[in-house]
């Protein structure tokens, strides 16, 4: 009889999350971005990793979490959430209410997919302009050998 699995399985591994965080911050330094905060959520929407660079302002962790949480909440990257926010404000207001105000529908929230397209989790980055935050997240996900989903067709 095979041994039962140990622990719960929630998509992204700690090793993958650590690689994403490290590579995202390296990309931020390479691009000379403002100090970044990176939040990684697993497939259950639970925090897997958080790292806040020196010099980040008070709400950066909450904003980064909100970017990742919004992406996980609807299963779309931040760019698609931003479009929906513009095109369907009533729905997005209801979504925000259901999420307890914790969803931030802007670029910088990027889904993490495996090679088969399954969602393993999400990255949220805050600190610079949203497009630049997103670039750091994409670089981190790719460095971990996974597929970023920003909400735009690749």
Q: In sequence order, which residues have a C-beta less than 8 Å from that of residue 75 and are 6 or more positions away?
A: 111, 119
User: Could you read off the pLDDT tens digit of each residue along the chain, which spans 154 residues?
Assistant: 455 455 555 799 999 999 999 999 999 999 999 999 999 999 999 999 999 999 999 999 999 999 999 999 999 999 999 999 999 999 988 988 898 888 999 999 999 999 999 999 999 999 999 999 999 999 999 999 999 999 987 5
CA dihedral 68, 14, 25, 141 (to 10 degrees): -60
User: Has residue 138 been placed in a domain?
Assistant: yes
C-alpha 23/C-alpha 109 separation (Å) is 16
User: Has residue 9 been placed in a domain?
Assistant: no
User: Has residue 8 been placed in a domain?
Assistant: no
Q: What is the pTM of this model?
A: 0.91
User: Has residue 47 been placed in a domain?
Assistant: yes
Q: Which of 87, 142, 85, 88 is nearest to 110 (CA)?
A: 142
CA distances to 58, 83, 88 from 14, rounded to whole Å, are: 25, 31, 36
Task: Tally the domains of the chain.
Answer: 1
Question: Coil, strand, or helix at residue 119?
Answer: strand
User: Has residue 2 been placed in a domain?
Assistant: no
The distance from CA 78 to its chain's CA centroid, rounded to whole angstroms, is 9
**CATH at residue 99:** 3.30.450.150
User: Has residue 113 been placed in a domain?
Assistant: yes
Which range of residues forms the domain containing residue 27? 14-149
User: Has residue 89 been placed in a domain?
Assistant: yes
């Amino acid at each position: 009889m095979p041994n039962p699995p140990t622990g719960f399985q929630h998509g992204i591994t700690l090793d993958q999350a650590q690689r994403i965080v490290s590579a995202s911050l390296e990309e931020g330094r390479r691009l000379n971005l403002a100090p970044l905060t990176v939040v990684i959520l697993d497939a259950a929407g639970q925090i897997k990793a958080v790292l806040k660079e020196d010099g980040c302002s008070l709400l950066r962790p909450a904003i980064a979490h909100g970017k990742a949480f919004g992406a996980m909440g609807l299963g779309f990257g931040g760019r698609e959430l931003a479009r929906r926010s513009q095109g369907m404000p009533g729905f997005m207001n209801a979504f925000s209410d259901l999420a307890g105000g914790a969803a931030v529908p802007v670029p910088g929230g990027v889904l993490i997919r495996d090679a088969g397209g399954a969602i393993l989790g999400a990255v949220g980055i805050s600190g610079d302009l949203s497009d630049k935050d997103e670039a750091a997240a994409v670089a981190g996900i790719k460095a971990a050998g996974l597929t970023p989903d920003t909400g735009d067709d690749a």
